[in-house]
Amino acid sequence: RLVMGLSDEMFSWKLEPGETFDTPETAFSYSANGFSTLSWNLHRLIRSHICRSAYRDTKRPVLINNWEATYFDFTGEKIIEIAKQAAELGVEMLVLDDGWFGKRDDDLAGLGDWTVNEKKLGMPLGKVAEKIRGLGMKFGIWIEPEMVCEDSDLYREHPDWAFTIPGRKPVRARYQLVLDYSRKEVVDGIFAQIAKVLDDTKADYVKMDMNRHLTDIWSKTAAEQNQGAILHRYVLGVYDFLERLHERYPDLLIEGCSGGGGRFDAGMLYYSPQIWCSDNTDAINRTRIQYGTSFFYPVSAMGAHVSAVPNHQTGRVTSFHTRGVTAMAGTFGYELNPALLSDEEKQQIREQIKTYKKYETLINEGTYWRLSDPFMDEIAAWMTVSEEQDHALVSAVRLRAEANQAVVYVRLRGLKPDAVYLEEQSGRQYSGAALMHAGIPLPPFTREYEAYQFAFTELKEAGTLYEKVQKW
């Protein structure tokens, strides 16, 4: 099933003599060798020809986001303390999420008023950013520029800026209305507010969210433009907003986000080289979310974080190791409060960051293979292989545990059949053919949801195993 181009629903465009209309572009690819090759075609297209950020070909900072650590309940000092503890563990950027602006202590108010709530923070936001940079970290910030709460100064001043149909009560998803981005004055007004904050904080990163669907599509400009053109003009307005961010802040890393990936499309990746896959941070659910996303989008575009347990969405408890292995299948980060972690867990963060940094280029630029179907199989397994096929990183997560369970073998892909590979952790040597045809056995499990990582390096010179194989 494909959804692409312009939708017939609510679309009607009046084209005047001499005018032109540009339809949205669509990229097609073909493979006679299965979904893997088709995915690689799309991965290369997106990574090399659609993403254009300064971060497209550079390593991205390991971040910590305060949302699941504090939600709306924070002060400037509390954010600085989270940053301080995270910096000691090797985290490179703090992202301040929802709640820093307007009268924003819950979902009921504040969207549209992009002015810093210094009373809540206890200090200017610029000072918070300055102190975080003093720790050797970058500073990022959350925005949701397309939305407005009715309890906001913006809505009280410009109620006509929001989509509402005259004579009808609007749908108030998450207590939000959608701003009419088909109107330039709306885009101008929101951009001016947010640009002032970005200038004051010198932010390195923006997480641009959109937490509800579009409804009640009706614009006050009905007399000036066909209502059937509103949705298309709306998207052009969003692109205009993002283009302005690019022009004014060429070194800004933008992460797209929409209700957990609802806007994960190639058009948005032109402006944001990574997108938050889902607000569901449960590691087991994430194996399926990231599996599905990988069919079209490269690992370098998938935002993934290690969160606290019990998980805030599912209540599931998984080990810190399992959460880390799962999150390394994307742009790596954390979403928790370091102050609540044990010394052992803090040490695991140090080790996870060290591991991710070691394999970051391989993870983001290597050839991605799906080794299982987590919707059907008892494990979720995936791997990335270097272009030269001399390095590989394999990850696997057990999705269920059974008594007297048989040994599970993970068959690898994309290696050289005649090469000999060293598994770094165990020191064992395997032929590429053996790894791909027989597979590598997972250790016997001791508890549910265990995860494993195997790193393989090709032995360039003939070794003992190779000689024995050849002789045999």
Known active-site residue 160: no
Closest by alpha carbon to 273, among 244, 299, 292, 291?
299
Candidate list 105, 265, 351, 424, residue with the active-site label: 265
The catalytic position among 81, 151, 240, 345 is: 345
> If you write DSSP's letter for every residue of 367-402 in order, what string do you get?
EEEE-S-TTTSSEEEEEEE-TTSSEEEEEEEE----
**CA 202 from chain center: how many Å?**
22
Structure tokens belonging to residue 233: 């003009």
Residues 6+ apart with CB under 8 A from 317: 309, 310, 311
The Cα 366–Cα 370 span in angstroms is 13
432-to-94, 284, 435, 460, 469 alpha-carbon distances in Å:
41, 29, 5, 13, 12
Beta pairing partners, 421: 430, 458
How many beta carbons lie within 10 A of that of residue 196, not counting itself? 13
Distance in angstroms (rounded) separating the CA atoms of residues 95 and 206:
8
- Cα–Cα separations (whole angstroms), residue 380 to 190, 202, 344, 356, 472: 43, 40, 26, 19, 34
**Distance, CA of 440 to CA of 421 (rounded, Å):** 12
Dist CA 246 CA 195 (whole Å) = 12
Phi, psi of 303 (to 5 degrees): -75, 130
Catalytic residues: 265, 345
